[in-house]
Amino acid sequence: MYGAFCTSGTTIVAIAMTTPPPPYSITHALQGHGGAVRAIADVHGTVVTGAMDAAVLCWDLATSTPVQSIYEHSHWVTAIVSLNAAHESLLSSVGFATGGMDTHVRVFTRASDAQFACVAVLQGHTSGVISLSWLQTDTTSLLLSGSWDGTCRGWDVATQTCRFVLPDHENGVCVLGLPNGVVITGSTGKQQGNQVVDARIRMWHQVSPSAYELTRTLTDHQGPVRQLVQVDAIGFASCSNDGSIKVRAADDGAVLATCQHPLNHEGKPGFVLGLAYLPHSQHLVSASEDCTARVWRLDGTLVQTIDHPSGLWCVVALPGGAFATGAEDKQVRVFSSSPSHLNDALEAALAAQVAEAHVQAARGPSAVEIEKLPAYEQRARQVGKSDGMVQMFRRDNVAWACQWSAVSATWVDIGQVTGTGSGGVVDGDAYDMVIPVEIETPSGVKKLYEGYL
């Protein structure tokens, strides 16, 4: 069923108005990583995950246990993509590619012993690789990689060579190859004071076998662009720290529909860090640092919200309409709408974890934690590392948050720390801890969230 017809240039695009699937519920909880889960891929039924413990784990969902652990990365694993059909044929094997903060792209294929082995290391990026995608047309089959070095690279995996570089992005780059041969890139923007500006989406068209021309630039996101995904028969979708997911036309990137995460009690949206398209039901699923996965219709209608005990980094579609989320709490959770996959025990456990996380977040730091903080009276002896840096001090036996002002070379009071968090993202930066603080304003006491390294 189609409806909500939108015009993009001279093309009329029909947004699918599908019947919502039954509510999704948790079917598997995969525990084994020692760090936040940053990337997930489905490799012919094997779930492959990468995390901030520098490990890649390959999971058997029948037992919810890893059947292989790969420790070839020297830093966080931040991107994984399964081999496309062309490369499965070329390499005579199923497999996947990984990208990590060690700047390398690695390609793995399944050996005769059913274990995955690295068969190629693609080197050229000068900073962490955070996004991978395939560019597949009748004449082209390349692996795209996006990096914090501000570039997108197109790789010929067979020869292990870089065919082209798309430069001059604003810091981190996410990538997507469309069936029409267009390369889409998104950037995280530039830091301007304590604000992130100039996040952009670019559309590139091929002008020669090794050259692409920038044909369109989109600036309609108000925060870093975090991921791009293909949406069948329509185009693609983008997600951002501005809390939105935008469904776009393939030819010009025009916005056909917007999914908007609700604002929190401070009037700020949750950063949308991951996005997946579910072809089985024609829905989108977003993963947010606000501790939720949300299921959306393509017209922007919210279908379901699934609470998690910690922030989410990523989400991926799985066979049969299921999907998996990767979280800050080091877990991978699989969700399905199939009644035959219901797991009451896991559903109850997830609800209990969410409730406990809410209780923990409301508590202030412990006396032991406060005692370890530097004294508020001695704060003048400590110089902030950068303008806007947040530091906690011990003041009258409570934790007190201050922010460094480079202009005045002083610590500016923020307020008492009234809770703790396990970690998360504030204004586009990852922190070991995200602390809520209270501050008085003309309209009353407000709770803010500040990152603490």
DSSP for 110-162, written as a single string: E-TTS-EEEEEEE---SS-EEEEEEEE-SS-EEEEEEETTS-EEEEETTTTEE
Q: What pLDDT, in 10s, does the model give residues 301-311?
A: 999 999 999 99
Question: Which of the residue ranges 22-26, 319-323, 433-437 would you say has the lowest mean pLDDT?
Answer: 433-437
Q: Is the pLDDT of residue 377 over 70?
A: yes
Structure tokens at 311: 């922030």
Q: Is the pLDDT of residue 406 over 90?
A: no
pTM: 0.82
Q: CA-to-CA distance for 338 and 348, rounded, in angstroms? A: 18
* Range 32-57 burial, b when 16+ CB lie within 10 A, else e: bbeebbbbbbbbeebbbbbbbbbbbb
Banded model confidence at residue 194, pLDDT cuts 50, 70, 90: low
Q: Is the pLDDT of residue 449 over 50?
A: no
| Every domain range in the chain assigned CATH 2.130.10.10 | 18-357
* Greater model confidence, 15 or 81: 81
298 with 15: CB under 8 angstroms?
A: yes
- Burial class for 443, CB neighbours closer than 10 Å (0-12, 13-18, 19+): exposed
Q: Is the pLDDT of residue 429 over 50?
A: no
Banded model confidence at residue 77, pLDDT cuts 50, 70, 90: very high
* Range 17-26 burial, b when 16+ CB lie within 10 A, else e: ebeebeebbb
What is the rounded average pLDDT of the residues 362-388?
85
Q: Which of 182, 169, 98, 203 has the alpha carbon at shortest distance from 135? A: 182
Altogether, the residues listed in the chain come to a count of 453
Q: In this predicted structure, what is the pLDDT of residue 193?
A: 66
Q: In this predicted structure, what is the pLDDT of residue 341?
A: 86
What is 18-357's CATH number, 3.40.50.970, 2.40.160.60, 3.40.50.300, 2.130.10.10? 2.130.10.10
Q: In this predicted structure, what is the pLDDT of residue 441?
A: 39
Banded model confidence at residue 384, pLDDT cuts 50, 70, 90: confident
Q: What pLDDT, in 10s, does the model give residues 229-246?
A: 999 999 999 999 999 999
365: left (phi over 0), alpha (psi -120 to 50) or beta: beta
Banded model confidence at residue 126, pLDDT cuts 50, 70, 90: very high
Q: In this predicted structure, what is the pLDDT of residue 15?
A: 60
CB count in 10 Å sphere of residue 251:
17
Q: Is the pLDDT of residue 447 over 50?
A: no
- CA dihedral (286, 289, 291, 293) in degrees, to 10, reads 0
Residue-by-residue DSSP string for 353-377:
HHHHHHHHHHSPPPHHHHHTSPBGG
Q: What pLDDT, in 10s, does the model give residues 28-74?
A: 999 999 999 999 999 999 999 999 999 999 999 999 999 999 999 99
Give, as one character, the DSSP assignment of residue 347.
H
Q: CA-to-CA distance for 115 and 180, rounded, in angstroms? A: 34
* Range 313-347 burial, b when 16+ CB lie within 10 A, else e: bbbbbbeebbbbbbbbbbbbbbbbbeeebebeebe
Q: What pLDDT, in 10s, does the model give residues 290-337?
A: 999 999 999 999 999 999 999 999 999 999 999 999 999 999 999 999
416 with 400: CB under 8 angstroms?
A: yes
Q: Is the pLDDT of residue 446 over 60?
A: no
Q: Is the pLDDT of residue 201 over 70?
A: yes
Q: Which residues are 191's β-sheet partners? A: 196
Q: In this predicted structure, what is the pLDDT of residue 186?
A: 98
Q: CA-to-CA distance for 180 and 369, rounded, in angstroms? A: 55
Q: In this predicted structure, what is the pLDDT of residue 18?
A: 61
What SS3 state is found at 90? helix
What sign does the CA torsion over 1, 262, 427, 359 have? negative
* Greater model confidence, 189 or 369: 189
